[in-house]
Amino acid sequence: MNILVCGANGFIGRHLVTALTAAGHRIIRGVRLANEDDDMAIDYMRDLTPQVWLPRLQGVDVVINAVGILTEDADTSFDSVHRDAPKALFAAAAMAGVKRVIQISALSGTNEDRHLQKLTPYTSYTPYMRSKREADAALMSQPLRWLVLRPSLLVGIDGASSRLFRTLASLPVQMLPGRGEQLLRPLHIEDLCSAALQWLQDDDDHGKSAVIDAVGPDILTYKAMLSTYRRAMDLPPAKYFSIPMPLMRACAYLARPFPQKILTLDTLKMLEENNTADAENFVALLKRKPRSSDAWFNDIPAENLRVMALSGWITVMFRAVLALMWLVTGVLSLGIYPVPASLELLAPLGLHGSLAVLVLYAAALMDIGIGFACLLYPSRLLWMLQLAVIAAYTVLISIFLPQFWLHPFGPILKNIPILAMLFALLAGEKNVKTNPGKHIEARP
């Protein structure tokens, strides 16, 4: 069959493309930028009418929507990406005579019985989940054969959330939201793909339209899930500390300006709702039991998992340490450390009077700017800038203040571990800055 997979570059989309290709299907990859012969350029912020989609669906037998964002930003919105574009796609699929449509939605712990009774719909949902449910409803209203898969947390070596939880699990001391008793039923990505393939391969009598909660066989608490990841990495038990949920919500509120999409008020709410459901229908669709939590990473050496996980938080720690160093240095230079003493250090460089004061404060403000950039705008350019600044400081001190090389506190020698951190960050930084959260995953 000719299958259009929208979101083919995302975690779910990549695995679906691999599974469907191995089964002999021809895949059309719906992606933001079309680079290959079988790529189709799509934009879920702009492709909001059936007329845009209709010519693209000629000759397409199956449409799979695996597009989603975890949080909104200035360029993306839940309503467009999760609801409006999929609604237009589904309507066009009905007009074009597409045989089947699979919608990768998301599992919610919210009680949905009242929605079936046609009371005010989706009012208790987060904006993320509300937009997903509205797209589900739009698909169900079309004269199509459809499958709505609502996965719990998905597990996979290359999944964003799976990487995050492995990183958190590798910490020797772990902070739990509340007591870490939130319930989850994680599912391995390969089982989700197998279920979609199984539905497509069933004949008309068995491949009926359905809404399926896609969940794994094990109900785990959040704490137990982290422990499962630690066992997979062959790490000893960690020390756990509880953070009251009001404090977690306060931290999520304060974290809004920072470049992260994990600790938000909405993600905390979804975690608190308990991400579980009955597995009976999914097992019936899959025709076997899904992979258990102890077998998530059986084919991957524990050492490889450890290295990947440790690199996640070590990088963050390096950034935080560098930010603290630059910020404290800058603030101290603004006057907390006696200004006359600072000016004495500039005198051997030939800087005196107002010029010395100007250089002192300019350097202090530069240090503060670099500190904030470490937190807000990490990049190759930033690490290279810091290497250049530290190298310049070291050269100037070596020429004009060489006695500091022999100082018992080692103020210049301390540049060596700082340089090592910068080289590590530079080596790990991607050449091209990407945003993996845009139009990619149905839910990490």
Q: What pLDDT score does 115 carry? A: 43
Average pLDDT over residues 161-170: 91
User: Comparing 31-45, 126-140, 171-185, 417-431, which segment has the lowest mean pLDDT?
Assistant: 417-431
Residue recorded with tokens 């702009």? 46
Cβ atoms within 10 Å of 215's Cβ, excluding its own: 27
Between 386 and 75, residue with greater pLDDT: 386
Q: Which residues are bridge partners to 28 per DSSP? A: 4
- The answer on pLDDT for 442 being more than 80 is no
Termini Cα distance of the chain: 28
pLDDT in tens, 295-316: 999 989 999 999 999 888 898 8
One-letter amino acid at 287 equals K
Pick from 393, 378, 387: nearest CA to 420: 387
Burial 46-68 (b: 16+ CB within 10 A, else e): ebbebebbbebbeebbbbbbbbb
Residue recorded with tokens 């340089």? 419
Average pLDDT over residues 13-21: 96
pLDDT in tens, 318-327: 999 999 999 9
Q: How far is 325 from 372, CA to CA, in rounded Å?
A: 11
Average pLDDT over residues 133-162: 94
Cβ atoms within 10 Å of 123's Cβ, excluding its own: 10
pTM value is 0.79
Which stretches of 23-105 are DSSP H helices?
50-53, 78, 85-96
C-alpha pair distances (Å), 355 with each of 336, 352, 365: 20, 6, 15
Return the percentage of the chain with pLDDT > 70, whole number. Answer: 91
One-letter amino acid at 353 equals G
Per CATH, is 2-300 categorized as 3.60.10.10? no
Per-residue pLDDT band for 440 (boundaries 50, 70, 90) equals: very low
Per-residue pLDDT band for 260 (boundaries 50, 70, 90) equals: low
Pick from 11, 1, 426: nearest CA to 187: 11
Per-residue pLDDT band for 335 (boundaries 50, 70, 90) equals: confident
Torsion sign across C-alpha atoms 233, 239, 245, 249: negative
- What is the domain partition of the chain in residue ranges? 2-300, 316-428
Q: How far is 277 from 106, CA to CA, in rounded Å?
A: 12
- The answer on pLDDT for 111 being more than 70 is no
Per-residue pLDDT band for 114 (boundaries 50, 70, 90) equals: very low
Cβ atoms within 10 Å of 159's Cβ, excluding its own: 23
Pick from 193, 184, 250: nearest CA to 219: 184
- Between helix 160-170 and helix 302-331 the angle, nearest 10°, is 80
Structure tokens, 337: 């450390």
CA angle centred on 8, ends 7 and 9, rounded to 5°: 95
Torsion sign across C-alpha atoms 315, 317, 321, 327: positive
DSSP letters, 288-343, are SPPPPGGGTTTTS-HHHHHHHHHHHHHHHHHHHHHHHHHHHHHHIIIIIS-HHHHH
Pick from 140, 6, 147: nearest CA to 64: 6
Average pLDDT over residues 45-64: 96
Q: What pLDDT score does 36 carry? A: 87
- The answer on pLDDT for 394 being more than 70 is yes
- The answer on pLDDT for 41 being more than 90 is yes
Q: How far is 4 from 24, CA to CA, in rounded Å?
A: 14
User: Comparing 123-127, 133-137, 189-193, 439-443, which segment has the lowest mean pLDDT?
Assistant: 439-443
Report the SS3 class of residue 410. Answer: coil
Query: How many residues are present in the chain?
Result: 444
| E strand or H helix at 242 | strand 239-243
CA atoms within 13 A on the CB side of 291: 20
Q: Which residues contact 278 (CB under 8 A, 6 or more apart)?
A: 213, 215
When the pLDDT of each residue in the chain is averaged and rounded to a whole number, the result is: 88
Q: How far is 246 from 252, CA to CA, in rounded Å?
A: 10
